[in-house]
Amino acid sequence: MRGVGVRTDHRARQRSAGELRADQFLRQAQRSAQPQRLGHQDHAADRRVDQHQLQRRARTRRAAHGDLAEGVEDPPDRAGQRVAELDALRTLGAGRLRIGSFSTADAALLPRALAAFRARHPAVAVTRTEGPSAKHLALLAAGELDLAVVADTSGRPPRDCTPHHLLDERMYVALPGGHRLARRTGLRLAELADEEWIAAGTRPEETLMHSAPAGGFRPRTGFVAADWIAKQGFVAAGLGVTLVPELAASSVRPDLALVPLHPDDTPRRGVYAATPRGIAPSPAAAALLTLLKEAADGLAS
């Protein structure tokens, strides 16, 4: 869906404060424009200030607080409209939510949360960006996303954001259905030393196999494929085996076998919802965050 540009709560609060200061200024100016009883009624006319000029000054003052472009006049009923807009944002009766997510989060975790979000808050426009976690964290820091679902294999929460832990996912080995190890209930990497691997790159340090070399195992990459559909196709054709994160397990094609990999051979991957650092999530982001945690709990159980 195409998002409609709206103001964030932080921006809205600044504008609301600017309008309040402008209104206070207007009232003060109006009081100062009233005739003063100094015993000379003929002085009253000299003390009157044109109301139109006062309103222009108030609007200019409002512009100086970032509420309007410099010198642009506001319709008389605009303040009421803005109050209604802010109320709609707070109650999720309007607004925009910009999110990003990595590919396997889109298999089940994010769709479940978004379906619940749309059912509860249909008036909020949601836009989504695809790509790796590093891309989303950069967009988040630049203020171009409100929330990102990211993964981290370092064993530490992602930096330069406010991380909200959702779950730790284990890894599976995807094998052709007729593979000699397809019926096993668990595997060690050493048992797969003779296999060719379908991976996103030739350097295991840059793939899901990043921790394997430290344990003395260096996979032999047969074909490079970053797309999950392509990986499954290569495995189904008997061209190799591949790692599948837990979040993607439910979307694996039925002619493949998934066998859990021992956690000592590849640590679990942390999945987080990331929001901008130092800024409270918008009402829409906070609502989706709650639903993401509920979806993660459901997947984990």
pLDDT digit string (tens) for 54-100? Answer: 444 444 344 333 344 444 555 656 766 666 656 566 667 778 999 99
- Going by C-beta distance under 8 Å and a sequence separation of 6 or more, which residues neighbour residue 151? 102, 104, 105, 133, 169, 245, 269, 270, 271, 272
Question: Of residues 126 and 2, which shows the higher confidence score?
Answer: 126
**Residue owning tokens 């209104």:** 23
At 224, phi and psi to the nearest 5? -100, 125
Which pTM was predicted?
0.67
Can you give the pLDDT at residue 41?
A: 43
Q: Which two tokens stand for residue 270?
A: 């942390």
Contact (CB, 8 A) for 99 and 127? yes
**Residue owning tokens 């989303």:** 136
* C-alpha to C-alpha distance for 281 and 147, rounded to whole angstroms: 8
In this structure, of 11-25, 40-54, 165-179, 220-234, the range with the lowest mean pLDDT score is 40-54
pLDDT above 60 for 192: yes
Contact (CB, 8 A) for 225 and 200? yes
Q: Which two tokens stand for residue 263?
A: 């956690």
Tell me the mean pLDDT in the region 159-181: 94
